[in-house]
């Protein structure tokens, strides 16, 4: 469970750099056993929100709790409860896929047979058997993404943040990731993922949050969003929500 | 606390594993010692060669072409007695020197026979090309022998007229060069501490760059920092890896030196080098404290680099830092003050030099090194660890 209370984040504002409000007074709660999708245009504040949750950015205002642990006060404890796949993440190229995953498991405090079993389980779920013992140098985008995903959840975190996890993946790999998300949900975990693919969000998410200009403009089930955006499908509704129709004055 | 050490160990194990697969950094680390020791051995043999030439021993006898040798046999006989190999040459000898077919020629004119017999001064010519540095030694040797024949002959002529030769020689100048050949050898030995200290500073530069700037470049840093691993444990783990690798580089270099010492004929250099394996281990012990500082310094610099290339540029600074204290010893050669031990590099240089020249290990100095190294390295590490999770480093 992740609770966000009146969160604001602004960048710049010192010297000649103009101040940008990336997030404005955002409050929300993400529940266990639910897949929440976060939709927004590029630069809407999705990645900023995630970075604030895993504590690598500090909020200008407000607080974040991961399983009731204050991220601002004890970030290291909170990070134990989080599994994160950041956007554009890199692997250790001289290590094999299995070694990459094992390293993260060990950093989370796991070792021995228990860890090896978890690694093998993830390799099975994501269909990585053929690449497990290969060095990451020269991995395709999909292979990299699967390895990164596996290492981010190797410690079975209660809360999982995925920034565009299916970006650029082929159909088979996308299906494997989707299957994994369902597995995680069935285990009662709290999953937040961002995506630009409407069909994926509508097929997968129990709840959708639309973010625009640093604010939440809609929050609810897919049906709720479609209604709120006055569209016939999620895509139309989303476009209407993030880009309000021009007023008469603006048209002229 | 137990958690901290576990994480530190996990990072250390992974980084070492990773580093040993990093061919580029391995090359960067272990080739310089080979170059260093190779250069050292090469320089020693070059000096030996130059010395042998200067002494005229070991090399071939000095050759001298003489035109008109038959007109002044006492001179050519004397030269031959002194070990010069005299060749008679034809009338075109001067031209041959001009055309560089001959290096030099001694030309004795026909009148010489008559002039010598009547006790007049003979004028002879030595033709050579002064810009040819190869013949310098031979020319000066020949000139010296001619002068000494000259003074002998003069003395004999005076004696035959009942005059003491001392009359024309109010002063005899005898040279006593105390520097002699040892100076050169000493110079070679003095360059070793600098080589060793430089190795400590650059030994693990490639690895440090890969572990900090490399993580940023590969975009793996953010994921690493999302784990609960504390910044201090991450930095310390990486630091420990680089430290171990620096030690390895240093040990390889000292081992190569040990082999070199066994084969270099130091006695020919007039040097008594008696560096035992124990002395080399003493050098290692002295330099470990310097490595502790050097690696922390590398990390602090590398963390601000965005890419591996960036880091390599920044690391240039690393070479200049040990140079600064060394400048002091260049300006004040031979200086060795008690306060040196409190200054990294300066103190290390003094101890390493002493060990190479046969003194025993100054244990008190070692203690002082560590008293400086530990707080300094700790300060650098804390500073670096505090930077690690700053947005400027992660997302900059």
Q: What is the pLDDT of residues B163-202, one digit of tens each?
A: 888 888 788 777 665 554 455 556 667 778 888 999 999 8
Domain B60-168 falls in which CATH fold?
Answer: D-Maltodextrin-Binding Protein; domain 2 (3.40.190)
Share of chain A above pLDDT 90, in %: 53
Which domains occur in chain A, in start order?
1-81+162-252 (3.40.50.300), 88-156 (no CATH)
Relative to beta strand B104-107, strand B63-67 is: parallel
In terms of CA atoms, which chain B residue is nearest residue A81? Answer: B228
Please tell me the distance in Å from B221's CA to the nearest CA on chain A. 8
Q: What is the pLDDT of residues B98-128, one digit of tens each?
A: 888 888 899 998 888 888 888 888 889 898 8
Please tell me the distance in Å from B375's CA to the nearest CA on chain A. 26
Contact at CB, B21 and A84, closer than 8 angstroms:
no
Relative to beta strand A20-30, strand A2-11 is: antiparallel
Contact at CB, B228 and A86, closer than 8 angstroms:
no
Q: What is the pLDDT of residues A28-75, one digit of tens each?
A: 999 999 999 999 988 888 889 999 999 999 999 999 999 999 999 998
How many Å apart are CA A61 and CA B345, to the nearest integer?
48
Contact at CB, A77 and B21, closer than 8 angstroms:
no
* Residue A205: Cβ within 10 Å count: 25
A→B contacts (Cβ < 8 Å), by residue, are 51, 54, 56-58, 76-77, 79-80, 82, 84, 86, 88-95, 99, 103-104, 106-109, 148, 151-152
State the average pLDDT for chain B. Answer: 86
Mutate to test the interface with A, among B11, B228, B232, B306 (most CBs of A within 10 A): B228
Relative to beta strand A61-66, strand A215-220 is: unpaired
Residues of chain B with CATH 3.40.190: 60-168
Residue B266: name the closest of B357, B154, B362 by CA.
B357
Q: Give this prediction's pTM.
A: 0.80
Q: What is the pLDDT of residues A77-88, one digit of tens each?
A: 999 999 999 988
Residue A196 pLDDT > 90? no
Contact at CB, A57 and B21, closer than 8 angstroms:
no
- Greatest alpha-carbon span in chain B: 106
Please tell me the distance in Å from B300's CA to the nearest CA on chain A. 20
Q: Considering only CB atoms, which chain A residues are within 8 Å of B17?
A: 95, 99
The tokens for B8 are: 């530190």
In terms of CA atoms, which chain A residue is nearest residue B225? Answer: A56
Please tell me the distance in Å from A103's CA to the nearest CA on chain B. 7
pLDDT band at A246 (very low <50, low <70, confident <90, very high): low
SS3 of chain A: the string is: CEEEEEEEEEECCCCCCCCEEEEEEEEEEECCCEEEEEECCCCCCHHHHHHHHCCCCCCCEEEEEECCEECCCCHHHHHHCEEEECCCCCCCCCCEHHHHHHHHHHHCCCCHHHHHHHHHHHHHHCCCCCCCCCECCCCCHHHHHHHHHHHHCCCCCCEEEEECCCCCCCHHHHHHHHHHHHHHHHCCCEEEEECCCHHHHHHHCCEEEEEECCEEEEEECHHHHHHHCCCCCHHHHHHHHHCCCCCHHHHC
How many Å apart are CA A170 and CA B255, to the nearest integer?
54
Q: Considering only CB atoms, which chain A residues are within 8 Å of B228?
A: 76-77, 79-80, 107-109
The tokens for B205 are: 């530069």
């Amino acid at each position: 469970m992740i609770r966000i209370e009146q969160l604001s984040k602004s960048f710049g504002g010192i010297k000649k750099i103009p101040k940008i409000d990336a997030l404005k007074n955002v409050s929300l709660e993400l529940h266990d056993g639910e897949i929440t999708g976060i939709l927004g245009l590029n630069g809407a504040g999705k990645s900023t929100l995630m970075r604030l949750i895993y504590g690598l950015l500090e909020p200008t205002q407000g607080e974040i709790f991961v399983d009731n642990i204050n991220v601002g006060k004890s970030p290291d404890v909170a990070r134990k409860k989080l599994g994160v796949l950041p956007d554009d993440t890199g692997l250790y190229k001289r290590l094999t896929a299995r070694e990459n995953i094992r390293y993260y498991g060990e950093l989370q405090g796991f070792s021995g047979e228990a860890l090896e079993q978890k690694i093998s389980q993830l390799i099975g779920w994501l269909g990585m058997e053929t690449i497990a013992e290969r060095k990451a140098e020269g991995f395709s985008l999909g292979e990299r993404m699967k390895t990164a995903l596996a290492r981010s959840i190797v410690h079975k975190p209660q809360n999982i943040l995925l920034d565009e996890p299916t970006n650029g993946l082929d159909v088979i790999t996308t299906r494997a990731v989707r299957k994994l998300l369902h597995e995680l949900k069935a285990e009662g975990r709290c999953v937040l993922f961002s995506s630009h693919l409407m069909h994926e969000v509508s097929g997968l998410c129990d709840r959708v949050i639309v973010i625009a200009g640093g604010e939440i403009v809609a929050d609810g089930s897919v049906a709720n969003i479609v209604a709120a955006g006055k569209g016939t499908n999620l895509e139309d509704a989303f476009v209407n929500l993030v880009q309000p129709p021009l007023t008469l004055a603006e048209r002229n | 606390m137990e958690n901290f050490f576990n994480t530190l160990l996990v990072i250390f194990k992974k980084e070492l594993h990773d580093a040993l697969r990093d061919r580029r950094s391995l090359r960067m680390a272990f080739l310089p010692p080979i170059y260093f020791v190779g250069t050292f051995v090469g320089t020693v043999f070059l000096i030996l060669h130059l010395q042998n030439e200067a002494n005229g021993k070991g090399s071939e006898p000095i050759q001298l072409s003489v035109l008109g040798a038959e007109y002044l046999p006492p001179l050519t006989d004397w030269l031959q007695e002194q070990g010069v190999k005299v060749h008679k040459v034809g009338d075109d000898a001067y031209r041959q020197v001009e055309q560089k077919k001959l290096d030099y020629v001694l030309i004795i004119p026909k009148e010489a026979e008559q002039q010598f017999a009547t006790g007049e001064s003979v004028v002879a010519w030595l033709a050579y090309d002064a810009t040819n540095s190869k013949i310098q030694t031979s020319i000066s040797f020949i000139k010296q022998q001619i002068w000494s024949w000259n003074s002998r002959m003069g003395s004999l002529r005076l004696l035959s007229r009942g005059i003491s030769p001392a009359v024309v020689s109010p002063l005899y100048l005898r040279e006593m060069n105390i520097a002699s050949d040892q100076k050169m050898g000493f110079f070679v030995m003095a360059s070793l501490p600098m080589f060793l200290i430089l190795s400590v500073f650059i030994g693990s530069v490639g690895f440090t760059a890969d572990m900090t700037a490399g993580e940023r470049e590969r975009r793996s840093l953010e994921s690493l920092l999302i784990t609960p691993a504390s910044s201090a444990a991450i930095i310390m783990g990486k630091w420990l890896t680089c430290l171990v690798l620096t030690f390895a580089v240093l040990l390889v270099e000292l081992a190569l030196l040990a082999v070199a010492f066994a084969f270099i004929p130091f006695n020919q250099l007039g040097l008594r080098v008696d560096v035992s394996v124990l002395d080399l281990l003493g050098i290692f012990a002295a330099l470990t404290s310097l490595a502790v500082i050097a690696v922390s310094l590398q990390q602090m610099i590398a963390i601000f680099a965005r890419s591996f290339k960036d880091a390599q540029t920044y690391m240039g600074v690393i070479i200049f830092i040990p140079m600064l204290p060394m400048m002091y010893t260049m300006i004040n050669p031979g200086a060795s003050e008690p306060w040196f031990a409190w200054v990294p590099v300066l103190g290390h240089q003094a101890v390493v030099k002493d060990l190479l020249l046969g003194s025993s290990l100054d244990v008190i100095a070692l203690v002082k090194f560590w008293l400086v190294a530990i707080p300094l390295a700790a300060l650098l590490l804390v500073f670096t660890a505090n930077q690690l999770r700053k947005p400027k480093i992660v997302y900059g």
